[in-house]
């Protein structure tokens, strides 16, 4: 019924800490920066994949998915809510790239996983929108939530990741254990 524990070279069963050490990843693989980089890569890839899907499958007309949610195609030449649309895609991409570099440096220096994940989400979303500006001249927005005739501004997965990442950073700042207890998140970053 019960499996016998493996024996060490000395013939004794391994202690609990030895078993635990075998299952743990090396510190380098548990570093918060890797979680942040993985989050950034995942957000960027998912954002670009959904935009490519919308561009390939969308015929220009809204597609009702749910009574309060449509898939649309909107070319956003500005930033949030279309602001600064007259600034031009290269200037907006350059500003976005500068912000993304600051976020990545912050993420690489972070010693907390939660913070690194949040920064990765923001950086990945920013990178997705920057790529749109550079390759298409505008950001592809397609998620349209509405109540009756009132529609929120269309947005995309990158915008969602940026919003969630910023909310996570606010949460970490206000309530994070790392600030009070010196938690490192599993390894020096």
Q: Mind telling me the catalytic residues? A: 141, 159
Length of the chain in terms of residues written: 189
| Bridge partners, 151 (sequence order) | 146
Neighbouring residues of 169: CB distance < 8 A, sequence distance ≥ 6 = 115, 118, 119, 122
Which of 119-158 are b and which e, b meaning 16 or more Cβ less than 10 Å from the residue's Cβ?
Answer: bbbbbbbbbbbbbbbeeeebbbbbbbeeeeeeeeebbbbb
Which of 69-80 are b and which e, b meaning 16 or more Cβ less than 10 Å from the residue's Cβ?
Answer: ebbbbbebbebe
Q: How far apart are CA 74 and CA 121, in angstroms?
A: 23
């Amino acid at each position: 019924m019960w499996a016998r524990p493996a024996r060490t070279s000395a013939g004794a069963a391994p202690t609990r800490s030895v078993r635990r050490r075998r299952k743990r990843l090396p510190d380098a693989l548990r570093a918060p920066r890797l979680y942040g980089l993985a989050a950034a890569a995942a957000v960027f890839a998912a954002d670009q994949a959904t935009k490519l899907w919308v561009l390939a499958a969308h015929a220009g007309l809204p597609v009702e998915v749910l009574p309060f949610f449509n898939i649309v195609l909107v070319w956003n030449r500005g930033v949030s809510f279309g602001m600064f649309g007259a600034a031009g895609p290269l200037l907006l991409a350059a500003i976005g790239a500068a912000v993304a570099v600051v976020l990545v440096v912050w993420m690489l220096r972070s010693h907390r996983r939660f913070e690194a994940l949040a920064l990765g989400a923001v950086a990945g979303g920013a990178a997705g929108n920057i790529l749109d500006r550079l390759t298409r001249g505008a950001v592809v927005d397609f998620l349209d939530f509405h109540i009756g005739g009132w529609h929120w501004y269309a947005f995309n997965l990158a915008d969602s990741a940026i919003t969630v990442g910023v909310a996570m950073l606010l949460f970490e700042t206000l309530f994070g254990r790392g600030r009070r207890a010196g938690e490192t998140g599993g390894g020096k970053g």
